[in-house]
Amino acid sequence: MPTTQIAVTAMVNGLAIGLLLFITAAGLSLIFGMMDVLNLAHGALFLTGAYLAWWIGGEQQTWPSLARAVVAVVVLGAAAGGLLSLLTAPLSRRSHLEQALLTLGIALVAADVLSALFGDDVRATEPPAGLDGTVTIAGWSYPSYRLALVGVAALLAAAVYWTVERTSLGALFRATVSDRDMVATVGVDPRLVRGGVFVLGSVLATLAGLLGAPIYHARPGLDTTILVLALVVVVVGGLGSIRGPLIAALLFGQVESVGRAVLPGLASFLLFGTLAAVLVVRPRGLFTLAPGGRR
Amino acid sequence: MTGINRRTFLGLTAGLGVAGLTGCGSSLGATAVSSGTDTVKVGLVIPQAGVYTPLGVDIQRGWDLWLRQHDGRLGGRRVTTVVADEGEGPQTGVPAVQKLLQNDRVDVLVGVVSSATALGVRDLVTSARRLLVIANAGAGAITSTNRSPYIWRTSFTNAQVAAAMGRHLATSGVRRIYAIAPDYVAGTEAIKGFSNAYRAGGGTIVGQSQPPFGKTQDYQPFLSRIQSSGAQGTFCFFGGAESVAFVKQYAQFGLSRTIPLYASGFLVEGGVLGAQGQAADGVLSTLHYTSELDNPANVAFGQAYRAAYDAAPTAYAVQAWDAAEVLSRAIAQADAVDGDSLAGALDSIGVITDSPRGPWSFTQQSPRQNFYLRRVQTRAGAPVNSVVADLGPLDPQS
């Protein structure tokens, strides 16, 4: 029965794409929601992760090369996050526009540097042995890597959720959003907290790039494509929570997957059509914190 | 006082405007004279930034190699090449052409990868009465409904490339095909060209999709439709990064084992083939060229190209090579470099017999040329498009 097969495959695929989208957007949402900085260089971080996956693993990843790539993207993501935190700090009292101009400039420079380093060709990489085959779902073959991605991304998502919502580190993050002077009073430097959020958000972006490399393939222009997707997720999900972007990302995973399978003629309108529909009903996003505290 | 001032000012501006215009006109007119009879200035319009950059590199290589092998002369005249960045579309391509025509005052234009840019510069080129030899852009309209007597093409038309595959498949026992290509002009023309030829031969299109161009990263929803359509094969056209994503995902979802992929040759031409890796193995495609063509002109061309650039030649490089070849012949014959003389010379140029792609000639300002059925194979560790069959010539408006 092809209809069942189409539906099942599309839903599984939507889950994989949605979770990857969450890992990508979570960092953007954290930095925007907690530190009030709109980081338009987020897509460039994703692309950097994808290029590193290819540079270290080549066209065919092995498990050791994947492990090296994970270490590399975490280190590079942390360094980039620290740098972004320092660069945006002088603008922290300025308007979003000025911050956006700065990070957009960084994104443009980064894109040119990546293009100079890795060329303008598509740099595709295949997952390591064991994940490069297919499994059978409802009678149809499905790439095993995407299935594994569901597991890994779900674990990552749970870890991020736990860190932000349940640990004292997360409490510190949230406290800095609510009242940075009080955080300073209890003896914690808010600049360190700020740096911590930037590092966490940036590492998530480069990790997402590594995980997404076998699906999206590193190439010039991928940074802006990913940035737009992540921004849509953040806008729909609302700021300052982890739950919001998670649900928004899962929603868009299904919209992009099931929606396009069922309504191929409307494929190009589905993403922004859904965005418009959500904004009409909930102009502040699905889950936005009330100003000054948690809802 | 102010009124007089304003009137004087307006008069002055108008005068300056007229002077500027006539100055511009006369300087354009004087270009041919200033070029002299022993030189020619060529504007090479190619993408140097953005997604089409690899095509621009290949075009420049083909152009440079031809000039290097011919003493830097076109039709006996010493060539000065001015390169301008076409970018990704008309918003950068049109100003680039404008700059070449008005600032650099080139005699001839060569290049243009994007069809939208080619259509966008039509009026500029026509009113400047300069020759533009298109070395890639494949929209049918450029040399048919929107034709200009000054715009000639040494590349292909999208429909022509796809029709070659449609004609071939209809006679090879594949009866049911699913067609997929992006939802922009080139994709639509490819599906149309393929479908017309395939249906004319008795084949059935069991379904078709046009994924949003530049906005599709995941082809899974479309692959599902192909899988459930009962097709015996898939015809597709994608370019650049999208061709890598599509070919890889087609293999990742296991479709390449059950439903063979047939393509317009650009899917697997040039740099993208390397990026597709194993996933492209066995893909059949049609194109007017492959580096593996076994004719004397291509063997010599391939050796020189590999020696110069340490890379296999591509259709894009050959299109530029042939642009230089026909320009040289036209300049030699016309003994002038204005658009009218060169267009007239191109019209009577006849069959080009020593091109790496095989014999071809102009029909309605675009090549009538042979198409080849090619299969992706690994040779000496690198993927190539080996020749399966010569499918014979096709007209540009097929």
From the centroid of its chain, how far is CA A34? 16
Are residues B116 and B257 both part of a single domain? no
> Mean pLDDT in chain B?
90
CB A203 within 8 A of CB B231: no
**CATH number of the domain that residue B112 is part of:** 3.40.50.2300
Are residues B189 and B267 both part of a single domain? yes
Interface size between A and B, measured as CB pairs under 8 A: 103
Are residues B348 and B238 both part of a single domain? no
Q: At what angle do helices B296-309 and B315-334 cross, to 10 degrees?
A: 110
Question: What mean pLDDT do residues B88-100 have?
Answer: 94
A141 inside 8 A of chain B by CB: yes
What is the three-state SS of B17-80?
HHHHHHHHHHHHHHHHHHHCCCEEEEEEEECCCCCCHHHHHHHHHHHHHHHHHCCCEECCEEEE
Q: What is the pLDDT of residues B267-284, one digit of tens each?
A: 999 889 989 988 999 999
- Which residue from B360, B348, B280 is spatially nearest to B319, judged by alpha carbons? B360
CB A24 within 8 A of CB A208: yes
- Which residue from B240, B357, B338, B378 is spatially nearest to B297, judged by alpha carbons? B357
pLDDT category at A117 given cuts 50, 70, 90 is very high
In A268-287, the residues whose Cβ lies within 8 Å of chain B are 268, 271
The full length of chain A comes to 295
**CATH number of the domain that residue A141 is part of:** 1.10.3470
Burial of B144 per CB tally in 10 Å (0-12, 13-18, 19+) = middle
Query: Residue B350 domain-assigned?
Result: yes
Q: At what angle do helices A222-237 and A2-35 cross, to 10 degrees?
A: 80
Among candidates A123, A217, A267 on the partner chain, residue whose Cβ is nearest the Cβ of B211: A267
Question: What mean pLDDT do residues B157-169 have?
Answer: 96
CA distance B275 to A124: 6
pLDDT category at B15 given cuts 50, 70, 90 is very low
Mean pLDDT check: name the lowest of A172-186, B76-90, B202-216: A172-186
Question: Would you state the pLDDT for residue A1?
Answer: 53
Query: Residue B109 domain-assigned?
Result: yes
Partners of residue B217 in chain A, C-beta under 8 Å: 215-216, 225
What is the three-state SS of A157-194?
HHHHHHHHHHCHHHHHHHHHHHCHHHHHHCCCCHHHHH
Question: What mean pLDDT do residues B4-12 have?
Answer: 47
Query: Residue A58 domain-assigned?
Result: yes
Question: What mean pLDDT do residues A222-251 have?
Answer: 89
pLDDT category at A176 given cuts 50, 70, 90 is confident
CA distance B101 to B216: 37
Question: Would you state the pLDDT for residue B80?
Answer: 96
Query: Residue A99 domain-assigned?
Result: yes
Residue type, B232: Q
Question: Would you state the pLDDT for residue A36?
Answer: 84
Question: What mean pLDDT do residues A100-105 have?
Answer: 94
Query: Residue A289 domain-assigned?
Result: no
| DSSP, residue by residue, A119-137 | -SS-B--BPPTTSSSEEEE
Are residues B347 and B303 both part of a single domain? yes
Question: Would you state the pLDDT for residue B34?
Answer: 45
Are residues B50 and B145 both part of a single domain? yes
CB B191 within 8 A of CB B208: yes
Question: Would you state the pLDDT for residue B390?
Answer: 96
Partners of residue A135 in chain B, C-beta under 8 Å: none
Question: Would you state the pLDDT for residue B110?
Answer: 97
Whether A240 shows a pLDDT value over 70: the answer reads no
Are residues B57 and B183 both part of a single domain? no
DSSP state of B106: -
Are residues B198 and B95 both part of a single domain? no
Q: List Cα–Cα distances, A136 to A52, A113, B225, in angstroms.
A: 31, 41, 17
Whether B17 shows a pLDDT value over 80: the answer reads no
Question: Would you state the pLDDT for residue A119?
Answer: 86
Beta strands in chain B (DSSP E): 39-46, 73-74, 77-85, 108-111, 131-134, 151-153, 176-180, 204-209, 233-236, 261-264, 284-287, 351-352, 360-363, 366-379, 382-394
Query: Residue A166 domain-assigned?
Result: yes
Instruction: Please judge whether B276 and A220 are an interchain contact, meaning their C-beta atoms are less than 8 angstroms apart.
Output: no
pLDDT category at B28 given cuts 50, 70, 90 is very low
pLDDT category at B81 given cuts 50, 70, 90 is very high
Among candidates A60, A121, A268 on the partner chain, residue whose Cβ is nearest the Cβ of B183: A268
Instruction: Please judge whether B241 and A221 are an interchain contact, meaning their C-beta atoms are less than 8 angstroms apart.
Output: yes
Question: Would you state the pLDDT for residue B21?
Answer: 40
CB B308 within 8 A of CB B279: no
State the total domains in chain A. Answer: 1
CA distance B141 to A115: 33
Closest approach of A292 to chain B, Cα-based (Å): 37
Q: What is the pLDDT of residues B35-80, one digit of tens each?
A: 567 899 999 999 998 778 899 999 999 999 999 999 999 999 999 9
A24 inside 8 A of chain B by CB: no
From the centroid of its chain, how far is CA A264? 26
State the total domains in chain B. Answer: 2
Q: What is the pLDDT of residues B353-371, one digit of tens each?
A: 999 999 999 999 999 999 9
Partners of residue A13 in chain B, C-beta under 8 Å: 218, 220-221
pLDDT category at B32 given cuts 50, 70, 90 is very low
Query: Residue A76 domain-assigned?
Result: yes
Question: What mean pLDDT do residues B280-305 have?
Answer: 96
Are residues B93 and B135 both part of a single domain? yes
Are residues B58 and B196 both part of a single domain? no
pLDDT category at B25 given cuts 50, 70, 90 is very low
Are residues B237 and B385 both part of a single domain? yes
Q: What is the pTM of this model?
A: 0.86
Whether B159 shows a pLDDT value over 80: the answer reads yes
3-state secondary structure at position B88: coil
Closest approach of A195 to chain B, Cα-based (Å): 32
Query: Residue B321 domain-assigned?
Result: yes
Closest approach of A126 to chain B, Cα-based (Å): 9
Domain of residue B102: give its range.
39-156+294-364
Whether B13 shows a pLDDT value over 80: the answer reads no
Question: What mean pLDDT do residues B6-20 have?
Answer: 44
Question: Would you state the pLDDT for residue A224?
Answer: 93
User: Which residues lie closer than 8 Å to A148 by C-beta, 6 or more apart?
Assistant: A127, A131
Mean pLDDT check: name the lowest of A136-140, B25-29, B223-227, B300-304: B25-29
Helices (H), A2-142: 2-35, 42-57, 63-88, 96-118
Question: Would you state the pLDDT for residue B137?
Answer: 94
Are residues B146 and B93 both part of a single domain? yes
- The ipTM is 0.85
Domain of residue A85: give its range.
2-281
pLDDT category at B119 given cuts 50, 70, 90 is very high
pLDDT category at B11 given cuts 50, 70, 90 is very low
Residue type, B392: G
Query: Residue B34 domain-assigned?
Result: no
Question: Would you state the pLDDT for residue B307?
Answer: 97
Instruction: Please judge whether A260 and B253 are an interchain contact, meaning their C-beta atoms are less than 8 angstroms apart.
Output: no
Query: Residue A216 domain-assigned?
Result: yes
pLDDT category at B239 given cuts 50, 70, 90 is confident
pLDDT category at B16 given cuts 50, 70, 90 is very low
Closest approach of B184 to chain A, Cα-based (Å): 12
Are residues B279 and B314 both part of a single domain? no
A51 inside 8 A of chain B by CB: no
Question: What mean pLDDT do residues B373-395 have?
Answer: 94
Residue B208 bridge partners (DSSP) = B179
> Mean pLDDT in chain A?
89
At B227, list the tokens.
Answer: 């899988």
Q: What is the pLDDT of residues A216-235, one digit of tens each?
A: 999 988 999 999 999 999 98
pLDDT category at A105 given cuts 50, 70, 90 is very high
Query: Residue B28 domain-assigned?
Result: no
Query: Residue B145 domain-assigned?
Result: yes
> Comparing B268 with A286, which gets the higher pLDDT?
B268
Give the DSSP H/E element, type plus range, for residue A143: strand A140-143
Buried b (16+ CB within 10 A) or exposed e, A129-149: eebbebeeeeebbbbbbbbbb
How much of chain B exceeds pLDDT 70, in percent? 91
Query: Residue B212 domain-assigned?
Result: yes
pLDDT category at A45 given cuts 50, 70, 90 is very high
Question: Would you state the pLDDT for residue B24?
Answer: 40
How much of chain A exceeds pLDDT 90, in percent? 53
